[in-house]
């Protein structure tokens, strides 16, 4: 119960938080929300019981008298009816404060009028369902001094040694039958007197209803009756103990949680209001607009390489000239330096100067003639071989491109 209550209250509290900044409307909404618990009136606070495992067992020992009512004797009141002893032992378990089951065995001697005094010996086993009427009507009280327990049951009876001149049921040999097996139904009531948690005294009355063959004499009424009165002791294997639950048990706990949540909500609303007030007094900062300059054109990383002692652009290098032309078209305000080089280990300085100039011019001609680049955007330079940009000699047979700032 408590787990369900905690989960429910946590969910209610969690729904009250607003993850965004506190606004005035949000504060009003939070302040208006409250959590309430409906307190049930006392008459609805019923206690429920569940059986504890391995508890509430009992053993009963008793002795008393039996009086059989067979054939027409119940209605004629025959004075020759005989009272005989009865012995009983049983055990059972209360599975709630209101109901129990009991299994019992009994032994009795029977005498009745059957033309002469007829008699038999009988054993019987019964299974009963017991009902504690006082607990059901007046409320559960384990210390109640007196209890009234009606119950019903069904059993099996076996009689032997029958002696009677009135027997008219015969065995397979045509002789009067000396035994009988019956399935009696019984109605009983037990008065129980508490002495302590472990011992009760009881008085029990019973009417057992048997078929007409109860005493192997068929005639008269179709049902034979055996009346029993027993006194005995009931030994409780420990005091009665049941798990109890009432929906009102946790009301005080729930009410405390409710008050705590409402207090937290009140604090939250006050804090939110103070925060909103503080935010309203903060100055609004001025915004300065900063214009960003246009980005500088990206550097041109392409180069055009040449063969030894050659100013002819090979087909493999044409793609690099194409890439430079596309870059110039994408940046129409860009001008570039087209600078040619020659390697230092081949030719003289004057010859290499002339060769580097021819290489620069060859690249410029392709940019102008093949791709329509304005000549004014191209600055041609010849670096010769006096300066080398690469440590590897052969790599210096190139033309490079440098943006003009």
pLDDT at 19: 41
190 pLDDT band (50/70/90 cuts)?
A: very high
Neighbours of 178 (CB within 10 A): 16
pLDDT at 382: 93
For residue 323, the model assigns a pLDDT of 92
For residues 94-117, give the mean pLDDT: 83
C-alpha distances in angstroms, 178 versus 34, 170, 220?
A: 83, 9, 20
Banded model confidence at residue 331, pLDDT cuts 50, 70, 90:
very high
The pTM of the full predicted model, rounded to 2 decimals, is: 0.48
Please name the residue ranges forming H helices in 132-241. 133-138
Domain pair 48-245 / 303-403, same fold: no
Q: pLDDT band for 18, please (50, 70, 90 cuts).
A: very low
Task: Output the pLDDT for position 167.
Answer: 76
According to the model, what pLDDT value does residue 176 have?
84
Average of per-residue pLDDT across 276-288: 79
Average pLDDT over residues 128-146: 91
Which tokens belong to 370? 């093949």
Place 239 in a pLDDT band, splitting at 50, 70 and 90: confident
- Structure confidence by residue, pLDDT tens digits, 22-69: 344 444 443 344 444 454 455 566 666 666 667 889 999 999 998 888
- Choose among 240, 128, 131: nearest CA to 184: 128
Query: Which residues sit opposite 400 in a β-bridge?
Result: 303, 339
For residues 132 and 338, give the distance between their C-alpha atoms in angstroms, rounded to a whole number: 115
Which residues face 176 on adjacent strands?
170
Q: Is 166 strand, coil or helix?
A: coil
User: What six digits make up the tokens of 62?
Assistant: 């008793």
Alpha-carbon gap, residue 132 to 94, rounded angstroms: 10
Q: Which residues, in sequence order, are bridge partners of residue 193?
A: 146, 201
pLDDT at 113: 67
CA 150 to centroid of chain Cα atoms: 43
Q: What is the DSSP string of 3-72?
A: HHHHHHHHHHHHTT--SS---HHHHHHHHH-----PPPPGGG---EEEEPTT-SEEEEEEEEEEEEE-TT
| d(C-alpha 327, C-alpha 341), whole Å | 22
Q: What is the topology classification, in CATH, of domain 48-245?
A: Porin (2.40.160)
For residue 385, give the nearest of 351, 343, 357, 331 by alpha carbon. 343
Question: Alpha-carbon distance 94 to 230, whole Å?
Answer: 21
What is the third-level CATH fold of 303-403?
Answer: 60s Ribosomal Protein L30; Chain: A; (3.30.1330)
What 8-state DSSP symbol labels residue 293?
P
Environment class of 332 (CB within 10 Å of its CB; exposed 0-12, middle 13-18, buried 19+): exposed
In the chain, % of residues over pLDDT 90: 47
For the chain, the domains span 2-13+20-45+265-273, 48-245, 303-403
């Amino acid at each position: 119960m408590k787990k369900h209550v905690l989960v429910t209250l946590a969910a209610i509290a969690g729904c009250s938080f607003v993850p965004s900044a506190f606004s005035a409307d949000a504060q009003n909404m939070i302040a208006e929300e409250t959590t309430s618990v409906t307190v049930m009136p006392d008459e609805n606070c019923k206690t429920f019981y569940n059986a504890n495992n391995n508890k509430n067992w009992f053993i009963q020992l008793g002795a008393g008298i039996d009086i059989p009512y067979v054939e027409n004797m119940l209605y004629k009141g025959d004075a020759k009816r005989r009272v005989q002893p009865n012995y009983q032992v049983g055990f059972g378990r209360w599975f709630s404060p209101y109901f129990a089951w009991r299994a019992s065995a009994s032994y009795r001697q029977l005498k009745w009028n059957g033309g002469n005094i007829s008699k038999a010996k009988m054993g019987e086993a019964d299974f009963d369902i017991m009902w504690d009427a006082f607990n059901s009507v007046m409320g559960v009280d384990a210390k109640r001094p007196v209890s009234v327990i009606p119950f019903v049951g069904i059993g099996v009876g076996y009689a032997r040694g029958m002696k009677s001149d009135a027997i008219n049921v015969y065995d397979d040999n045509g002789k009067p039958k000396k035994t009988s097996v019956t399935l009696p139904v019984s109605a009983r009531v037990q008065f129980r007197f508490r002495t302590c948690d472990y011992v009760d005294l009881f008085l029990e009355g019973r009417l057992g209803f048997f078929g007409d063959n109860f005493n192997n004499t068929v005639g008269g009424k179709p049902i034979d009756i055996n009346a029993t009165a027993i006194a005995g002791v009931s030994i409780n294997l420990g005091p009665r103990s049941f798990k109890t639950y009432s929906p009102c048990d946790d009301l005080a706990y729930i009410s405390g949680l409710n008050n705590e949540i409402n207090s937290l909500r009140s604090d939250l609303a006050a804090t939110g209001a103070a925060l909103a007030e503080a935010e309203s007094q903060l100055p609004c900062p001025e915004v300065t607009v900063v214009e960003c300059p246009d980005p500088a054109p990206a550097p041109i990383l392409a180069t055009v390489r040449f063969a030894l002692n050659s100013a002819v652009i090979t087909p493999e290098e044409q793609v690099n000239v194409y890439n430079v032309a596309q870059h110039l078209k994408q940046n129409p305000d860009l001008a570039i330096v087209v600078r040619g080089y020659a390697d230092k280990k081949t030719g003289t300085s004057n010859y290499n100067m002339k060769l580097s100039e021819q290489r620069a011019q060859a690249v410029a001609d392709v940019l102008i003639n093949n791709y329509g680049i304005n000549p004014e955007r191209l600055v041609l330079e010849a670096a010769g071989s006096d300066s080398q940009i690469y440590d590897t000699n052969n790599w210096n047979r190139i033309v490079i491109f440098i943006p003009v700032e």
